[in-house]
Amino acid sequence: MNRRNFLAKTSLGLGASTLLPAIGCQAAVTQNVGEWEAVRADFPIKTDVNQMSQMLLASHPTPVRAAIEKYRKALDENPAEYVEANFATMERETLMAAGEYLETNPLEFALTDSTTMGLSLLYNGLNLKAGDDILSTTHDHYSTEKSLEFAAKRNGATVRHIDLYEAPSAATLDQILNNLKKAILPNTRVVAVTYVHSSTGVKLPIKAMSEVIAEANKNRTEAERIYFCVDAVHGFGIENITVKDLGCDFLVAGTHKWLFGPRGTGILWAKKEAWDMVSPTIPPFSQAYLMWMESIPEGPLSFYSKITPGGFHSFEHRWALKAAFEYHMNIGKEKIQNRTHQLSTMLKEGLATIPHIKLHTPMSSDLSSGINCFDVDGLDAKQTIEKLHQANIIGSTTPYRKVYARLTPCIINTEEEVQQCIKVLENLKA
């Protein structure tokens, strides 16, 4: 098998204007999938510990594990021929599953290995010029801050970081929108934010923020317009959203967290009208490669074909991502959202009654999702998590300059596990 033949056979053959049809979800999930006990049984998690940190790196449910094993076995048995025969079909099905999940054109996605890779591909690839302003916030993750910093150094743009709120537990819609509106300058070309802050648990009102940006764009030329970029990883897999619901231009998410997808997978979505704002960072293996070999004529590329990094990947994981999307769709996005919010609200309401605990995450589900951050009087965050671990509760700390303890229940958790957390924390003192 030579590379020319491989590319010709495995190329998706999809141009920039092609729209793939929607597909139906056929994942073999648990029969009683509406029962949360049955959902929990799909995960091979240890039952002697209370898992309250799946938001970091999730366990795989049965259909995802089965899909990974299926592709791994086939690749181990005959890797070259299996990839040659199945690459185009499996890439297409993965994109279609992502498109159905967010109700958009599948070719608006690039496939990545993580949120960090997606952010790097997006911000490094932005076609900015010297003097352009990038507006971000003080609440974003290291990966966003550094990706923007690296990009600005290369193109001469500037980066500003603003506070959208002061005390996270007291954040309000008006406060966030007013701070955003006041910070937009005539030379602002990019607004880069995070949907759900893993530092505080605050969920931003992305749709309302997109309307502020749309208003600012009304009197701007196309060359001056603002692009709205969102790191959505900690809302992706919880919130019952589509890209239309959010109203942003770009969305980045790792899929090995709340979506319970294969480890080392992620997506970068771009609105069709924004494709030309991003140039590739890593050479793609797609029609672009065939054009380079002069096997096909030069022509427009879809976002997938232009931005998805080339090279060989852990295909057994990437292609099993389809099973993760289908798993969520079969359970129901709204059910998952409601269940996650139910457990988080139960946890927050319990923590709010404990005198020696300060809750930093807003109580309202309008401004929070599945991340719940807090302090215990007399203990730092690391000490708090260590003491919880001694009680067989697996939590985490926020990896930021200001460090909080964090518990993040999801659909594999039970009300009893939430109550256990509350009870332990009631008795947890310095």
CB 293 within 8 A of CB 4: yes
Amino acid occupying residue 265:
T
What does the block give as tokens for 247? 């109203």
Measured N-to-C along each axis, helices 115-125 and 142-155 cross at an angle, to the nearest 10 degrees, of: 20
Beta bridge partners of 202: 368
What torsion, rounded to 10 degrees, do the Cα atoms 155, 160, 161, 166 define? -170
- Using DSSP, state whether 267 is helix, strand or coil: strand
Query: What does the pLDDT read at residue 128?
Result: 96
CB 344 within 8 A of CB 368: yes
21 DSSP assignment: P
Mean pLDDT by 10 residues, the chain (430 residues): 54 52 41 74 94 95 98 97 94 97 97 98 97 97 97 95 97 98 98 98 98 97 96 98 97 98 98 97 92 92 96 96 98 97 98 97 98 97 97 97 97 97 92
Domains and CATH numbers, the chain: 96-329 (3.40.640.10), 333-426 (3.90.1150.10)
CA distance 126 to 271: 14
CB 114 within 8 A of CB 262: no
CA distance 71 to 390: 39
Query: What does the pLDDT read at residue 63?
Result: 98
Beta pairing, strands 227-231 & 188-194: parallel
CB 194 within 8 A of CB 254: no
Beta pairing, strands 357-359 & 227-231: unpaired
CB 161 within 8 A of CB 139: no
Would you call 296 exposed, middle or buried from its count of C-beta atoms within 10 A (0-12, 13-18, 19+)?
middle
The string of DSSP codes covering 152-181 is HHHH--EEEEE-S-SSGGG--HHHHHHHHH
CB 307 within 8 A of CB 280: yes
Greatest Cα pair distance, the chain, in angstroms, is 70
- Using DSSP, state whether 337 is helix, strand or coil: helix
82 DSSP assignment: H
CB 36 within 8 A of CB 339: yes
Query: What does the pLDDT read at residue 135?
Result: 98
Query: What does the pLDDT read at residue 85?
Result: 94
CB 266 within 8 A of CB 282: no
Beta bridge partners of 190: 134, 227
60 DSSP assignment: P
Nearest to 202 by CA among 114, 146, 280, 139: 139
CA distance 121 to 144: 11
392 DSSP assignment: T
